[in-house]
Amino acid sequence: MLIDTHAHLDFPDFSSDLDGVLDRAAAAGVTRVISIGTSVESSRRAVALAEKYPQVFAVIGVHPNSAHEAGDNFIADLRALAAHPRVAAIGETGLDYYRLPGAQRLRGSPAALGNETPGDIDAALADGQRKSIQAAVFQQQLELAMELGMNVVIHEREAWDDTLDILRPYSGRLHAVYHCFGKSPAHAQQLYDLGHFVSFTGIVTFKSAGEAQATAAEAPADRFMVETDCPFLAPVPFRGKRCEPAYTRHTAEYIAHLRGEPLETLAARTSATAETFFRLSR
Ligand SMILES: [Zn+2]
């Protein structure tokens, strides 16, 4: 009844017990799982898993944190992979300014803020180059999605305005889901207005996640989905442990409670949204 719309089943965390992981998901009512690629190789592994397991579908793409390693042929490689009938969308793609090397360096040494060393300045310049590469790799994947008539899974971190600026010209021509959504209802409204969607991970169950909770409580019933982003971001009460698709249920129960509706209602609506967005019933 529930669909985990964002899992990284190809990660080594699951290499020894994936059958058990998927059995536990089914037992928890999580009957389908979308496995998301983060590079061409990871996307290839996601497609192989979708071939092996009837309840698994693949999304193929290059994550912004891997954009600088994408190589020259990644679009041709993704296009070839997309011909596979179990490929459900393009992604995850987008912009991530949080994990840029220079940004990490400055975060690591707060004393350096306003008092940067030449090394910090080099790192900031390198960040500028990384940002342009991310933007180009993102835009090429949007073009590919348009060409293939597919939707897009977006990863955005500390890059809200730039991500929207790149995405805006595609409004009405493709739909995007902002995964792991943690921003305010007003931010989400900007996405709904452009025809896009949000999805919530276990973060929504954290005490500190007031904005995500407000957005989940108010989101139009046909504009959001649920996910784990496993192996990361296990919801309460598993916080800090390896996350797995079964825990989609905890996140869904939490959001249903926030919205004052039965889990069955939320499961039916979010699954219908995911089926359409990812074209699962083709
Ligand atoms: Zn992810």
pLDDT of residue 127: 84
Cβ neighbour number for residue 26 with a 10 Å cutoff: 14
- Distance from residue 143's CA to the centre of ligand 1 (Å): 21
Could you tell me the distance, in angstroms and rounded to a whole number, from the CA of residue 153 to the centre of ligand 1?
9
* Residue listed under structure tokens 């699954």: 271
Angle at 273 between CA 222 and CA 268, to 5 degrees: 85
Residue 2 phi/psi, 5° resolution?
A: -100, 155
Q: What is the pLDDT of residues 98-111, one digit of tens each?
A: 988 877 777 766 55
- Residue 115 CA to ligand 1 centre (angstroms): 35
Orientation angle between helical segments 185-193 and 210-218, nearest 10 degrees = 50
**How many angstroms is it from 147 CA to the middle of ligand 1?**
23
Residue 8 Cα to ligand 1 middle (Å): 7
| Distance, CA of 56 to CA of 222 (rounded, Å) | 22
Residues within 5 A (CB) of ion ligand 1: 229
Give the total residue count for the chain.
Answer: 282
User: In this predicted structure, what is the pLDDT of residue 100?
Assistant: 87
Query: Is 90 exceeded by the pLDDT of residue 121?
Result: no
Q: Mean pLDDT across the chain, nearest whole number?
A: 93
What's the gap in Å between 27 CA and the centre of ligand 1?
23
Using the predicted structure, report yes or no on whether residue 193 has a pLDDT greater than 90.
yes
Structure token pair of residue 188: 């989400």
The phi and psi torsions of 89 (rounded to 5 degrees) equal -175, 175
The average pLDDT across 174-198 equals 97
58 alpha carbon – ligand 1 mean position (Å): 12
Per residue in 62-95, pLDDT tens?
999 999 999 899 999 999 999 999 999 999 999 9
Q: Which of 2-16, 97-111, 182-196 has the lowest mean pLDDT?
A: 97-111
> Tokens 């005490």 correspond to what residue?
207
- CA of 181 relative to ligand 1 center, distance in Å: 12
Give the pLDDT mean for 132-139.
Answer: 96
**248 C-alpha to ligand 1 centroid (Å):** 14
Helix (H) or strand (E) holding 35: strand 30-36
- State in Å: Cα 6 to ligand 1 middle: 6
The average pLDDT across 171-175 equals: 95
Question: pLDDT tens across 228-257, in order?
Answer: 999 988 888 888 888 999 999 999 999 999
Ligand 1 center from residue 118 Cα (angstroms): 34
Q: Ligand 1: distance of its center to the CA of 229 in Å?
A: 5
Judge if pTM exceeds 0.75.
yes
For the chain, what percent of residues have pLDDT higher than 90?
83
